[in-house]
Structure 1
């Protein structure tokens, strides 16, 4: 897709309705061995995880010079560090001498010293000191010059406040991988957002792709989240493809010609699921009352509805706090976008906040388990970001974080699907026309893992 609108988010008004989506390019029968087959998992590691750009955390996790953290992709370990120039770099988490693991967890320092033989590296990965370099003659005479003995680098770039890592040093730059999605997401200025409230890593009893499937469709609302029925009309859902990524949006609120009913629907929105609205609803409730006539009837002037008034209130609220929303459309004030960001990220984003779920294969290699990282991101004034940033909380094995009811319903449901997928006689899933994001995700996955031609 070529985004040429004045505001990138205007694609939303032109994207295909669900009834218009062309399914001919996708296989609607998905083999289930990808959820439980060891051979598939091995090919997935080699062909996908070791070659694709992927989120390795938020930049605010390592905000200061010398801050570092370890990021793992199954049994592969990488070191992310903020250098003296403020840039984030990535390295293989292994000493160049004999491969000893350098770090675990996260920390801060001016250098990295291997505890095995005391080889030492700078924040830029260069070798600083080598114990007994002249014991049997200069090391460079029979190994390599010192400048070639630094840590093995991996490609790292930052975008929208996220740290992206790619183990394949021959991969195209991140901008190429993001494609047109880069402009749409950049308009939210997510580099100014921080994790608040929820920032949790936790094991789940399902394959990472089960999580992507679950958050790739709204079809399950009627079964898993019946409380959300009536909040929107999913027949108006729009869908768009951005390379390997895809996104859908459902217009906020139900179709309604009754201003009084539309007002009430807005006031009844569950703010625990859509926290952006919570701050604005009191002001909206106050302002809309000024449009009542002498008989108490709600009368809106031409071109104004309760929804557009709500959008105006959100824009004014965010602008007044210092958040630049000039690059966002009116619909982006109220209408959440639901991204499946390939390969393993779900983003529910609106002006000023987002729920992000990063789904990773379990480090043990067990394809019946995964680790998900749930974070609620919000725009916060720069002066308040350090104080309000919620650090990552990793739940110990066997313990569970108490999510709000919608997310908890999803958390409870997904292991049930994984149990069903283990059945050996159940060889393929069957998708419906309500699931274009799921179909597109698996087509992209096939192109990487199976190397299927486009």
Structure 2
């Protein structure tokens, strides 16, 4: 994919005058008719992430992404490119593979047909003697989808005529060009079934208004105050909240002090005791941290900082990519959240959590932010869980993402209430309604 360089100015994500005012009614979270419209006009048109390029480094390496009732294979080719095919044998439709592995060819377990990694049929039983149209080998091909790479992710699209990946993501590739995303190591990998519609997740990550209530551990190290964070959105539905990674002045730790930020300053040779007031500690300390990181990054082995600017090395642009992918860009971590609809029940979804860390010289483990301390190495496979009111993932209890998932079931239930007619949003929740308006545009053919 060509690298974009120009970033168009964002719209103010706190300005409701940028909205039409479309209602966010409860039925869009549980109606099977609405879910069918999403399949027909959204999911079959947009770009999906199949997985990480790191999962398929060699020719013949493949991964399978199952989305609702569709299944797609992304496979590395001999020339190093990646191609995507429907996971459906061209003989009678049998799914051929699952998971992530490596093959010389795809072998159908039903009748033995073999398909090359280029999608061309290589072998059919009785191919020379039992097909009146002639041997199908070398003639038939698996159904192919458009495939592209950005950010160390393999993407595919079921629509041959829609926007390119670059057009679909614009301006995200330009906005995050300084992050060496393809070098990040996935240290935690979960797929969790939730009793909520997939849109709960995008709604949740499109605002930080809930943080003070749901995540009291956040303000001491990320300043999400309404007047501190910057809210931005772009016409195609992408948006972000740019959050300074410094203590909030509104939520101060009881008893004074802030061990987390003090430790961060010391790590970069800044003395946290030199500040006369807590305000100086938070605000000037944050500026001093920027300067120290720019001076010492190479010496301390943080080589991924090479092209990152002052904001990128100290702050967190929490970014929602329409319609269902969220990436928290932190100085040393990337955290991907993705929600995908259940194939049969619109009141369920699959929630993906991928914690990734940039390698730092001398480090053997990392604080993954959402999943705790992890070894700094690629995890070999995905953990499939059912949330089950938290019982399904006890090891994540107390983590920010766990707290979000705890809210999902009752939020879903609330969408059925006769008392709920539309969301009454604060200005800092403007991006929620904007997301639903862009979703409406796709459903109504304006996407």
Distance verdict in 2 for CA 1:424–1:297, change over 3 Å: closer
Distance verdict in 2 for CA 1:223–1:387, change over 3 Å: closer
Q: Distance in 1 between matches of 2:294 and 2:124?
A: 57
Does residue 128 of structure 1 match 2:137?
no
Taking the TM superposition and a 5 Å limit, the aligned residue runs for 1:276-295 are 280-284=264-268, 286-288=269-271, 292=274
**Aligned residue for 1:236?**
228
- Structure having the higher helix fraction is 1
**Aligned residue for 1:218?**
208
Q: Distance in 2 between matches of 1:46 and 1:430?
A: 29
SS of 1:100 mapped into structure 2:
coil
Distance verdict in 2 for CA 1:137–1:213, change over 3 Å: closer
TM-score, length-scaled by structure 1: 0.82
Please tell me whether the aligned partners of residues 193 and 349 of structure 2 are also in contact (alpha carbons under 8 angstroms): yes
Taking the TM superposition and a 5 Å limit, the aligned residue runs for 1:50-199 are 50-136=44-130, 139-140=133-134, 146-196=137-187, 198-199=188-189
Distance verdict in 2 for CA 1:218–1:92, change over 3 Å: same
| Superposition deviation, residue 157 in structure 1 | 1.0
**Aligned residue for 1:33?**
27
Q: Please report the RMSD computed on the Cα atoms of aligned residues, expressed in angstroms.
A: 3.2
Please tell me whether the aligned partners of residues 13 and 232 of structure 2 are also in contact (alpha carbons under 8 angstroms): no
Q: Distance in 2 between matches of 1:367 and 1:114?
A: 32
**Aligned residue for 1:274?**
none
Distance verdict in 2 for CA 1:37–1:128, change over 3 Å: same
Does residue 351 of structure 1 match 2:331?
yes
Please tell me whether the aligned partners of residues 217 and 438 of structure 1 are also in contact (alpha carbons under 8 angstroms): yes
Range with greater deviation from structure 2 (164-173 or 366-375)? 164-173
Taking the TM superposition and a 5 Å limit, the aligned residue runs for 1:393-412 are 393-397=382-386, 399-403=392-396, 404-412=398-406
Distance verdict in 2 for CA 1:313–1:140, change over 3 Å: farther
Please tell me whether the aligned partners of residues 28 and 431 of structure 1 are also in contact (alpha carbons under 8 angstroms): no
Distance verdict in 2 for CA 1:405–1:43, change over 3 Å: same
**Aligned residue for 1:431?**
425
Gaps of 5+ in 1: 270-276
Please tell me whether the aligned partners of residues 62 and 101 of structure 2 are also in contact (alpha carbons under 8 angstroms): yes
Please tell me whether the aligned partners of residues 28 and 432 of structure 1 are also in contact (alpha carbons under 8 angstroms): no
Q: Distance in 2 between matches of 1:138 and 1:381?
A: 61
| Superposition deviation, residue 316 in structure 1 | 4.7
Q: Distance in 2 between matches of 1:405 and 1:394?
A: 17
SS of 2:303 mapped into structure 1:
coil
Does residue 368 of structure 1 match 2:352?
no
| Superposition deviation, residue 159 in structure 1 | 0.6
Q: Distance in 1 between matches of 2:163 and 2:129?
A: 43
Q: Distance in 2 between matches of 1:51 and 1:329?
A: 35
TM-score, length-scaled by structure 2: 0.83
For each residue in 1:343-394, what CA deviation from the matched residue of structure 2 results, as whole angstroms up to 9, or x when unmatched? Answer: 101111122312110111113x211111111011111269999971123423
SS of 2:244 mapped into structure 1:
coil
**Aligned residue for 1:314?**
293
Q: Distance in 1 between matches of 2:106 and 2:410?
A: 44
Gaps of 5+ in 2: 365-374
Distance verdict in 2 for CA 1:419–1:153, change over 3 Å: same
| Superposition deviation, residue 401 in structure 1 | 5.0
SS of 2:380 mapped into structure 1:
coil
